[in-house]
Structures are given as C-alpha cells and as structure tokens.
C-alpha cells in the first residue's frame, strides 16, 4: 500500500495552518485570551448587546463552546450579562470597560500577527486566500447547520 500525499488533503493543511496560527497567537497576541475569546470580544464591540446564541452564530462557535467562552470571559471581568427586558429568559452581553481595553490592546497585536502569518503571500494572493477560505468555511458551516443562514464573521483585514 502506498502512502497518501497529505499535501492534497485540505484537512491536513487546515490542521497545519491552525497549528501555525496557534503558535503565532500565543507568542504575539496573548497566552491568556484565546482566538475564539477574542472573536467574541470583537463581535460585542461590533454589536453590543447581542445574546449568547447570536454571538455564537457571528463567530462560528457551537452552543456548548460559546457558553464556555462567555463564562470564561465573564469570570475574567471582560463582559457582563444583562437580562433582556423584553425576554426574561435571555441574557444580553456587553463588554466591561476592561473588556474594551483588552480588545483594543489585542486588536493591535492581531494586526501584527496577521502581517507575519500572511507574509508569504502578496497582497493580491492574500485577497484570493481570504476569499477561498471564506467560501470553504461558509460551505462547511452549511454542512453543520443545513438550511441555516450563514452570518458573516466580524473581521478586520
């Protein structure tokens, strides 16, 4: 039996890409705040007062993961839950002053990290890279939630 050429396997390449991102994130951005946690902070900067489900949809996290991320950010004092006055079962999320400060600091660091991460690509290649990643991500999201509308991630390029 011959070995498989893993360079033609998107999952293998995605895992390697994720490993590189994780390494850069931990060395250049934060060892305390994870990339998914930053995505939640970023979503709440863009749209303060979202509920947990909506934040999860915005950043592409499933229900159990978003619940844990929000819980951790709350324990760190970076966001507050406020009961929705129109639906007492629902909580709306807002960043605390510390959450805003942390987001601002990490935004600068993520911009630098992205420059390093994308350095092998020209500007035009970066545009194509992002477009292709978005198409594959959107299609994968559709597989996970058939029939559900795909909300765009809140991004900064």
For the segment 28-37, what is each residue's pLDDT rounded down to a tens digit?
Answer: 999 999 999 9
Least confident of 111-115, 118-122, 133-137: 133-137
Q: How many CB atoms lie within 10 A of CB 7?
A: 8
Residue 148 has pLDDT above 60, yes or no: no
pLDDT in tens, 4-47: 999 889 999 999 999 999 999 999 999 999 999 999 999 999 99
- Position 141 scores a pLDDT of 77
Residue 139 has pLDDT above 80, yes or no: yes
- Position 157 scores a pLDDT of 45
pTM score of the predicted model: 0.85
pLDDT in tens, 60-113: 999 999 999 999 999 999 999 999 898 888 999 999 999 999 999 999 999 999
Helix (H) or strand (E) holding 75: helix 63-75
Residue 155 has pLDDT above 90, yes or no: no
In the chain, which ranges are E strands? 79-84, 87-95
Which CATH code for domain 11-144?
Answer: 1.10.10.10
User: What are 106's two structure tokens?
Assistant: 């990490």
């Amino acid at each position: 039996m011959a070995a498989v050429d893993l360079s033609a396997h998107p999952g293998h390449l995605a895992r390697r890409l994720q490993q590189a991102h994780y390494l850069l994130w931990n060395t250049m951005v934060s060892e305390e705040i994870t990339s998914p946690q930053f995505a939640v902070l970023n979503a709440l900067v863009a749209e303060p007062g979202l509920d947990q489900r909506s934040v999860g949809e915005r950043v592409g996290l499933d229900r159990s993961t978003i619940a844990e991320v929000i819980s951790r950010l709350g324990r760190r004092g970076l966001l507050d839950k406020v009961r929705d006055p129109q639906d007492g079962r629902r909580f709306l999320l807002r960043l605390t002053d510390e959450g805003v400060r942390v987001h601002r600091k990490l935004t600068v660091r993520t911009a630098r990290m992205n420059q390093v991460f994308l350095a092998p690509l020209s500007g035009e290649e970066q545009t194509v890279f992002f477009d292709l990643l978005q198409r594959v991500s959107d299609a994968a999201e559709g597989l996970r939630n058939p029939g559900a509308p795909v909300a765009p991630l809140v991004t900064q390029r």
